[in-house]
């Protein structure tokens, strides 16, 4: 699918994987809306790539609509990448046997609200805008790419909420792709493994932590680079025969229980 002069929305686009994706899309000719809560980083990146910044909390439908409308004002919305998300780790049952020490239910709900419900809300709003596009020669009106995680398949101890949210994204990829086929919109999901982003911090302690993490990666035995993930996202956008698929980008890792 050709995206030159089309617009794109990237949630969680101010840093990490989202920022790498935003840069790739801009290099390919799209006018990118960096949708994020981080105003400073978001505006800096938008200026760098000739795009726009929208302050977006993906639990707010109003924010999502505003970002989509901003994109539409720059060109037909052909691309939506759902990269916004948070993590949380806590064992399901506490050590002291008290009900109060069981996992924080509000934290579980928050992770689901942002990672899963937020992704679906972006899809339904972004997909609606795409449905208004004139179809391209191929019949396509747009492409949606969701960012899940290998935790959808190999969730570790304490990752119940995160794995549930990412597993939900994987699980809804096919039915939504089937649904949106009627309007010429493809839907794919990319499931990253261990990607070297600012989430791991910086400095000697961070390097030691990452060195230990990468031992489970088959080859190459290192953390992935955001650009490596972003290139697969771009392929999901460009390749018109790629639809309803979840692609692991993880160096072959299968996460251990802990």
In tens, the pLDDT along 13-60 reads 999 999 999 999 999 999 999 999 999 999 999 999 999 999 999 999
Give the pLDDT score at 211.
82
First to last CA, the chain: 41
Decide if pLDDT at 109 tops 80. yes
Q: Using CA atoms, how far apart are residues 141 and 15, in angstroms rounded to an integer?
A: 28
Whether the pLDDT of residue 153 is over 90: the answer is yes
Ordered by where they begin, the domains of the chain are: 7-197+225-249 (3.40.50.720)
Q: Taking the model in full, what pTM does it have? A: 0.96
Does 66 have pLDDT greater than 80? yes
Residue 193, class by beta-carbon neighbours within 10 Å (0-12 exposed, 13-18 middle, 19+ buried)?
buried
Please tell me the distance from the alpha carbon of residue 114 to that of residue 192, in angstroms, as a whole number: 18
Mean pLDDT computed over 1-22: 97
Q: Identify the band that residue 185 occupies on the pLDDT scale cut at 50, 70 and 90.
A: very high
pLDDT reported for residue 203: 77
* Over residues 178-196, mean pLDDT: 97
Mean pLDDT of 167-182: 98
Q: Which of 99, 162, 200, 241 is catalytic?
A: 162
CA torsion sign, 87 to 62 to 20 to 179? Answer: positive
Whether 241 is catalytic is: no
Residue 172: per-residue pLDDT: 98
Q: Which residue has the higher pLDDT, 155 or 206?
A: 155
User: How much is the pLDDT for 206?
Assistant: 77
Backbone φ, ψ for residue 191 (5° rounding): -115, 100
């Amino acid at each position: 699918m050709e995206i030159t002069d089309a617009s794109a929305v990237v949630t969680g686009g101010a840093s990490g994987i989202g920022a790498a994706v935003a840069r790739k899309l801009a290099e390919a000719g799209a006018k990118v809306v960096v949708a994020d809560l981080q105003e400073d980083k978001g505006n800096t990146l938008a200026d760098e790539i000739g795009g726009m910044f929208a302050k977006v909390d993906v639990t707010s439908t109003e924010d999502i609509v505003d970002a989509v409308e901003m994109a539409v004002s720059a060109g037909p919305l052909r691309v939506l990448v759902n990269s916004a998300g948070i993590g949380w780790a806590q064992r399901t049952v506490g050590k002291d046997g008290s009900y109060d020490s069981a996992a924080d239910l509000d934290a579980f709900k928050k992770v689901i609200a942002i990672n899963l419900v937020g992704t679906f809300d972006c899809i339904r709003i972004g997909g609606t805008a795409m449905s208004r596009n004139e179809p391209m020669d191929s019949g396509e009106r747009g492409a949606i790419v969701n960012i899940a995680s290998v935790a959808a398949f190999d969730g570790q101890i304490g990752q119940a909420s995160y794995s549930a949210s990412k597993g939900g994204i994987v699980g809804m990829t096919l039915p939504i792709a089937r649904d949106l086929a009627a309007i010429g919109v493809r839907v794919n999901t990319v499931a990253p493994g261990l990607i070297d982003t600012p989430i791991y911090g910086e400095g000697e302690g961070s390097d030691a932590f990452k060195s230990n993490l990468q031992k489970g990666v088959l080859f190459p035995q290192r953390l992935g680079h955001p650009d490596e993930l972003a290139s697969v996202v771009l392929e999901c956008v460009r390749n018109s025969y790629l639809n309803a698929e979840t692609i692991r980008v993880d160096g072959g890792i299968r996460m251990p229980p802990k």
